[in-house]
Amino acid sequence: MKLTLATDDTGGPEIFSSVQGEGPSVGMPVAFLRLSRCNLACVWCDTAYTWHFTGDERPHRSDTTFEREPNQVKLPVGEVAELIAGLGQKRLVITGGEPLLQPAALAELLELLPDMAVEIETNGTTKAPPRLDIRIDQYNVSPKLSHSGNPPELALIAERLHAYAGDPRAWFKFVVASPEDVAEATALVRTHAIPPARVFLMPEGTDSATLRTRERWLVPLCLDHGFRMSDRLHIHLFGDTRGT
């Protein structure tokens, strides 16, 4: 079985070690695995090279599309496991794209890495089958608000949000660019009974200046609603670059 991965700047698979830049595990040393393909299309997505391939007419603010061949690579699961194990980390973050589009191959991969703690970054529109779910220690669920450009019937599936709200492994991370986005996130938290203690608000942005500007008005809103705020540590450290 093979996994479909994104590539780094060298054209190799985007498998690397760094510190987690977002959410509840921020600052922790981890191995990263970035997969390719996504079922949504956020207009501000900072990893559009994982899905916005030539011929894909879904909108993105950059109007840039990517050739599939240099930006996507398929590798046997065993080879991916060896590359991850070789990084020497104890925690694995699987991101994308949308990782849960490849559940069978991911389950096989994690069975080869039984001693690693595993985080899945997901948009919350689908679920892991039992063989994969049993291997997941933490779900980082990022429901996409209306400013993402995704139709709500595709991005905000009530059954899935309810299920993740009831799973203590699931943390919610809402990407926001304005106070209006916070109001939308707050309404979703109420509707789906998401515990506020497991909610992060994270500013949208791919440079430090934008993040800092938005964090200034975001802090009081987090205080008002009892939410946490997530920075984007990797942006401050490395910029908007692959493999970081």
The 10s digit of each residue's pLDDT in 163-177 is 999 999 999 999 999
Residue 184 CB contacts under 8 Å (≥ 6 apart), including other chains: 145, 146
Residue 19 covered by a domain: yes
Residue 84 covered by a domain: yes
pTM comes to 0.96
pLDDT more than 70, % of the chain: 100
CATH of the domain at 44: 3.20.20.70
Residue 63 covered by a domain: yes
- Three-state secondary-structure class, residue 15: strand
CB atoms within 10 A of CB 123: 25
Count Cα neighbours of 76 within 13 Å in the Cβ-side half-sphere: 3
Residue 244 covered by a domain: no
Residue 165 covered by a domain: yes
Which residues span the domain enclosing 23? 2-238
Residue 243 covered by a domain: no
Average pLDDT rounded to a whole number, residues 33-61: 97
For 132-144, how does the pLDDT look when each residue is reduced to its tens digit (9 = 90+)? 999 999 999 999 9
**Buried-state track 76-85, b at ≥16 Cβ within 10 A, e below 16:** ebeebbebbe
DSSP class of residue 27 equals: T
Task: Choose among 58, 2, 3, 12: nearest CA to 243.
Answer: 12
Distance CA 100, CA 56 (A): 20
Alpha carbon separation from 8 to 36, 125, 195, 227 (Å, rounded): 12, 26, 36, 34
Is residue 80 within 8 Å of 110, Cβ to Cβ?
no
Residue 11 covered by a domain: yes
Distance CA 110, CA 114 (A): 6
Average pLDDT rounded to a whole number, residues 122-137: 98
- pLDDT tier, 161 (very low <50, low <70, confident <90, very high otherwise): very high
Compute, in degrees rounded to 10, the torsion defined by CA atoms 173, 177, 181, 182: 60
Total domains in the chain come to 1
Residue 117 covered by a domain: yes
- pLDDT tier, 92 (very low <50, low <70, confident <90, very high otherwise): very high
